[in-house]
């Protein structure tokens, strides 16, 4: 049995996308965990507990610290992807129903298209713009619920969080990683930097930490280990291998996940219009990937070049 380079590359690309897609699916559970398990009205403390412990654990495991220009870069990425994004995310989660808070992040692909054009010179294609519009339309259908309360501050926080994460994703792609530094170490740098940014704000604005019961401890452990350390490692690994805008379109899976979890676990009713919106959002996700997939490598007989064909 033999394989060529092109099919292997295509398979590797698809595998990376599939693995990276687990991250927004897990992130969709953040809203249910926040509202059901964690202390109420503590977005900054919750953001701190999600970021800093996980970051310190990863630093201890990798034993690699940023040097030179990467001290500043790690700080910038940490603030955009973690320090600003987490508080905005939890503020939206506390002030909006889970489905509404989740779907606001679906505007991120459109924002990422703009940032990628400015920072990466990735010209937005017609297909990607269409995919973004399809995704936003699908999200809008999910939001349009009779009992949805669109708190103004919560909506602003959700949109600002999407913008922060989009810019962070694009800059992560632009800067890459230092030679010899893996995605796990890069994740630890950003989580630690973001957590240190959040810490003084949390204590100044919210005061002393609240008392935690077993449910809250379990919720923070889930968010810190699964929803942060593992999820962000997969996310940054994907960014290094896939176009930034394609990664951003995977974010459309988060509101779908949030809506499904709200339906299954919290008993939140889904109307036919919302179900149609989720399907449309998934179509937007697929269009975003088709628009960003790499061109297949030419076969030897087409290019005249020799391609190694390993036996298996």
Q: What is the pLDDT of residue 218?
A: 94
Residue-wise pLDDT tens digits, 198-219: 999 999 999 999 989 999 999 9
The torsion region of residue 39 among left (phi > 0), alpha (psi -120 to 50) and beta comes to beta
How far lies 195's CA from each of 2, 44, 64, 157, in Å? Answer: 48, 10, 17, 18
Answer yes or no: pTM beyond 0.75.
Answer: yes
d(CA 85, CA 107): 14
Contact 278, 259 (CB under 8 A): yes
108 vs 198, more confident: 198
Quick check: helix, strand or coil at residue 215?
Answer: helix
Q: Is the pLDDT of residue 72 over 90?
A: yes
- Tens-digit pLDDT profile for residues 226-239: 999 999 999 888 88
pLDDT at 24: 87
* Better-scored residue on pLDDT, 283 or 227: 227
pLDDT over 70 (residue 284): yes
Contact 123, 117 (CB under 8 A): yes
């Amino acid at each position: 049995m033999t394989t060529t380079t092109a099919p292997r590359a295509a398979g590797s690309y698809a595998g990376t996308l599939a693995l990276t897609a687990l991250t927004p699916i897990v992130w969709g559970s953040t809203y249910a965990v926040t509202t059901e398990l964690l202390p109420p009205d503590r977005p900054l403390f919750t953001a701190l507990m999600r970021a800093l412990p996980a970051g310190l654990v990863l630093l201890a495991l990798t034993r690699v610290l940023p040097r030179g220009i990467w001290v500043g870069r790690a700080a910038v990425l940490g603030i955009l992807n973690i320090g600003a994004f987490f508080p905005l995310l939890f503020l939206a989660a506390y002030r909006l129903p889970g489905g509404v808070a989740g779907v606001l992040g679906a505007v991120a692909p459109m924002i990422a298209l703009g940032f990628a054009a400015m920072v990466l010179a990735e010209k937005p294609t017609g297909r990607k713009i269409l995919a973004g519009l399809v995704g936003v339309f699908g999200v809008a259908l999910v939001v349009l619920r009779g009992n949805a309360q669109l708190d103004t501050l919560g909506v602003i926080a959700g949109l600002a969080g999407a913008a922060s994460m989009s810019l962070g994703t694009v800059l992560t792609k632009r800067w890459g990683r230092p030679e010899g530094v893996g995605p796990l170490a890069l994740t630890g740098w950003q989580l630690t930097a973001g957590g240190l940014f959040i810490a003084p704000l949390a204590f100044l604005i919210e005061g002393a930490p609240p008392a935690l019961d077993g449910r809250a401890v379990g919720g923070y452990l889930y968010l810190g280990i699964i929803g942060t350390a593992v999820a962000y490692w997969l996310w940054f690994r994907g960014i290094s291998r896939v176009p930034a805008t394609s990664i951003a379109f995977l974010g459309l899976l988060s509101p779908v996940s949030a809506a499904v979890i709200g339906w299954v676990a919290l008993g939140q009713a889904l109307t036919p219009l919302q179900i149609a919106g989720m399907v449309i959002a998934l179509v937007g996700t697929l269009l975003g990937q088709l628009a960003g997939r790499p061109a297949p490598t030419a076969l030897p007989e087409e290019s005249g070049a020799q391609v190694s064909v390993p036996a298996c």
